Structure 1
Amino acid sequence: MAKSKTPAKKKEPKHLDQDEFELEEMAYTLIDVIEGKKTKAFTIHKREEPLTGTVTKMDANTKLIHIKDKYMNIHKVHFLDILKISDIDY
């Protein structure tokens, strides 16, 4: 009896593919946000609710963006997982 091969699971990409222009725009926006200490809403891949907070650090080595929320918790988000940066609607 021959063993049937189980089909290999398609490995889901770790991060979304984004346009190089969009990534460049995002980087400039992040620099503006960190310099102005502005509170923004960050839409993040695989997260239902937007994360609201200020950028406290951008780590070039790990590509992690440190975002501090209103409860002073630090969220480390990979740069490629940030889909959109928006102003806060009060």
Structure 2
Amino acid sequence: MAAKTKTPTKKKEPKHPDRDEFDLEEITNTLIEVMDGNQIKIFTIYKRDDQLTGTVTKMDANTKLIHIKDKYMNIHKVHFLDILKISDIDY
């Protein structure tokens, strides 16, 4: 009986980036402020080349999706853990 050789497994890229509890709490607080104040912000999102500019219209606790409306009135549903940074708009 021939011995099976293990094939090297590819290291899977994580679905969401790893961050500590402090970072997640800070993002949560910023999202709440942005939604309550109807503010336009720039969102840096994991695995997305371009940044998303818009306002937070809804935060769904069940699906952990953040609904962001851009200037063209399109709604982008972004997973909470994929939001890397929220910044102000520079005019």
TM norm structure 1: 0.93
Report the Cα offset of residue 7 of structure 1: 1.1
Report the Cα offset of residue 8 of structure 1: 1.5
Report the Cα offset of residue 49 of structure 1: 1.5
Could you tell me which amino acid in structure 1 is paired with residue 31 of structure 2? L
Could you tell me which amino acid in structure 1 is paired with residue 42 of structure 2? A
Q: Describe the SS at the equivalent of 2:76.
A: strand
User: 1:42 aligns to what?
Assistant: 43
Report the Cα offset of residue 2 of structure 1: 5.0
- The sequence identity of aligned pairs, in percent, is 78
Could you tell me which amino acid in structure 1 is paired with residue 38 of structure 2? K
Matched, 1:11 2:12: yes
TM norm structure 2: 0.92
Q: Describe the SS at the equivalent of 2:62.
A: coil
Q: How does 1:11-90 map to 2 (within 5 A)?
A: 11-90=12-91
Report the Cα offset of residue 40 of structure 1: 0.3
Could you tell me which amino acid in structure 2 is paired with residue 26 of structure 1? I
RMSD of aligned residue pairs (Cα, Å): 1.2
Structure 1: where are the runs of 5+ without partners?
Answer: none
Q: Tell me how many residue pairs correspond in the alignment.
A: 90
CA offsets per residue over residues 9-62 of structure 1, 9 Å max, x none? 212211000110010011000000000000000011111211000000000011
Structure 2: where are the runs of 5+ without partners?
Answer: none
More deviation, 2-11/19-28: 2-11
Could you tell me which amino acid in structure 2 is paired with residue 47 of structure 1? R
